[in-house]
Amino acid sequence: HRPLKRTRTTFTYLAVAMMGTSEEKLAYRKAVNGAHKQVYSTDSSPVKYNAFDPELQMWVAACLYWGFVDTYQKVNRTLSRAEQEEFYQLSHPLGTTLQVRQDMWPRDLDGFEAYWQNGLKNLSIDDRVREFLMIIADLKFLNPVSQLLFSRFNRFVTTGFLPQELRDQMQLEWNDDKQRKFERFVRMAGRISRLFPRPIRQAAY
């Protein structure tokens, strides 16, 4: 119901997990756990869920890691295999800051890629979840003027960053022409961002 606040707290989690001190991680873990303990299914719920489920948190952490690497490579440059492996090993706090145990992370990049592909293969998005996600993609939580100005662009960029398996599940149209436009946009965004000093680029963090 409050997606802008959720976005802010999620970005804060990313910053703390990847760049925070041990004390900051413990403090944020306590805060997130305070929110997560209220999120669980009941006997009447159509879907069984518990926000403390470490397997589900592992999948969320994997999505966060994949998003970091995929976005960087689309916006900047292709990372070497060694660079990807190094960043992967640094990314474990995306999960271990919460309930994911260190031994739950696949040992190396090959293991992660097998885990990731298996997750995509078994992923299922039903009509109810799809409808909810499209509210976010189409910015329907904003005022009508903001929706008119930005919703089409937001859906385009969101779709461009999704793996094809998720585009299919979300029933989002994509083609070669849209792919070319998306690639031109992210390359331009990358060139513009590199014009700014590092403190400005990292201001969100």
pLDDT reported for residue 3:
86
- Judged against a pLDDT cut of 90, whether residue 4 lies above it is answered with no
Report percent pLDDT > 90 for the chain.
90
Question: 69-104 b/e with 16+ CB inside 10 Å = b?
Answer: beebebbeeeeeeeebeeebeebbbbbbbbbbeeeb
How many domains does the chain fold into? 2
pLDDT tens across 153-192, in order? 999 999 999 999 999 999 999 999 999 999 999 999 999 9
Judge if 77 and 145 occupy the same domain. Answer: no
User: Are 23 and 31 a contacting pair, CB within 8 Å?
Assistant: no
pLDDT tens across 111-153, in order? 999 999 999 999 999 999 999 999 999 999 999 999 999 999 9
Q: Answer with the one of 104, 122, 140 that is the final residue of a domain.
A: 122
pLDDT reported for residue 57:
95
Mean pLDDT across 45-62: 93
pLDDT tens across 78-109, in order? 999 999 999 999 999 999 999 999 999 999 99
Report percent pLDDT > 70 for the chain.
100
Q: Answer with the one of 72, 89, 122 that is the final residue of a domain.
A: 122
Q: Spell out the residues 6+ positions from residue 21 whose beta carbon is closer than 8 angstroms to its own.
A: none
Domain region containing 25: 3-122
Q: Which amino acid is at 145?
A: V
pLDDT reported for residue 97:
94
Judge if 161 and 96 occupy the same domain. Answer: no
pLDDT reported for residue 196:
93
Judge if 92 and 21 occupy the same domain. Answer: yes
pLDDT tens across 68-80, in order? 999 999 999 999 9
Mean pLDDT across 39-60: 93
Q: How far apart are CA 161 and CA 185, in angstroms?
A: 12
Structure pTM? 0.90
Judge if 41 and 137 occupy the same domain. Answer: no
